[in-house]
A and B are shown apart, each in its own frame.
Chain A
Amino acid sequence: GESVGLHLPTLSVQEGDNSIINCAYSNSASDYFIWYKQESGKGPQFIIDIRSNMDKRQGQRVTVLLNKTVKHLSLQIAATQPGDSAVYFCAENGSGGSNYKLTFGKGTLLTVNP
């Protein structure tokens, strides 16, 4: 079956450091991946996505890396700020070819210490 898991449930970093959040997926048919940020009491906020024909994609202060060989996804946040503190989820489309059904992992809680 499809599953998305995260290596670390919590991550604590100092303000200004870079953060790396990891995610493993099991469905080799997945071809679309998204990272979401969820702050307490709010819905998930889209951060960045990547399709399986790419291995890297950059946004503003964020980079997503995709390693299809080992089915691993990571989110790198540069110069982490207190406002980055939240739960981060990776999600995959799971079935390949259809993005409508996203499968989420449990999430990683990122805490940024001032």
Chain B
Amino acid sequence: ETGVTQSPTHLIKTRGQQVTLRCSSQSGHNTVSWYQQALGQGPQFIFQYYREEENGRGNFPPRFSGLQFPNYSSELNVNALELDDSALYLCASSPDPDGGQFFGPGTRLTVL
């Protein structure tokens, strides 16, 4: 196990709602990256947080936002949920922005 934890494990929301997903990074890691993995696809980079600031962003709209806290845990927030947001959301922590990324088990989000 990587020591990266995510909550909740599963979540069901309806279109238009907002959701918050949480991630606790591995001890000693100060960087958290978030990915979206659609069924049958590889993970797609959403953004990375380093020392409580966004450190890079993929091709996702502004309704995807995040936070990182002083203890390096992180949240992913998605507003105005759409059906296509249904996916596995993965969090990966690393010892620094350029370090190897270690993934948590993911949160399975279903939007109805």
On A, residues with C-beta under 8 Å from B are: 4, 34, 36, 41-46, 49, 89, 91, 98-107
Task: For chain B, residues 24 to 72, give those with C-beta under 8 angstroms from any C-beta of chain A.
Answer: 31, 33, 35, 40-45, 48, 50, 55-56, 58
Shortest Cβ-Cβ A-B pairs, 9 listed = A104-B42, A43-B103, A99-B98, A100-B48, A44-B103, A100-B97, A43-B105, A101-B45, A100-B56
Determine if A105 and B58 form an interchain contact, defined as CB atoms under 8 angstroms apart: no
Instruction: Chain A residues near B40: list those with CB within 8 A.
Output: 106
Determine if B106 and A98 form an interchain contact, defined as CB atoms under 8 angstroms apart: no
Q: How far is the CA of A41 from the CA of B54 in the complex (A)?
A: 28
Determine if B90 and A99 form an interchain contact, defined as CB atoms under 8 angstroms apart: no
Q: How far is the CA of A99 from the CA of B40 in the complex (A)?
A: 24
Determine if A44 and B90 form an interchain contact, defined as CB atoms under 8 angstroms apart: yes
Task: For chain B, residues 1 to 19, give those with C-beta under 8 angstroms from any C-beta of chain A.
Answer: 2, 4
Determine if B56 and A49 form an interchain contact, defined as CB atoms under 8 angstroms apart: no
- Measured between C-beta atoms, what is the minimum distance from A94 to chain B in Å? 9
Determine if A104 and B43 form an interchain contact, defined as CB atoms under 8 angstroms apart: yes
- Measured between C-beta atoms, what is the minimum distance from B67 to chain A in Å? 17
Task: For chain B, residues 50 to 102, give those with C-beta under 8 angstroms from any C-beta of chain A.
Answer: 50, 55-56, 58, 90, 92, 97-102
- Measured between C-beta atoms, what is the minimum distance from A20 to chain B in Å? 19
Q: How far is the CA of A99 from the CA of B104 in the complex (A)?
A: 18
Which listed residue (B33, B98, B105) contacts A42, Cβ 8 A?
B105
- Measured between C-beta atoms, what is the minimum distance from A2 to chain B in Å? 11
Which listed residue (A4, A34, A43, A105) contacts B90, Cβ 8 A?
A43
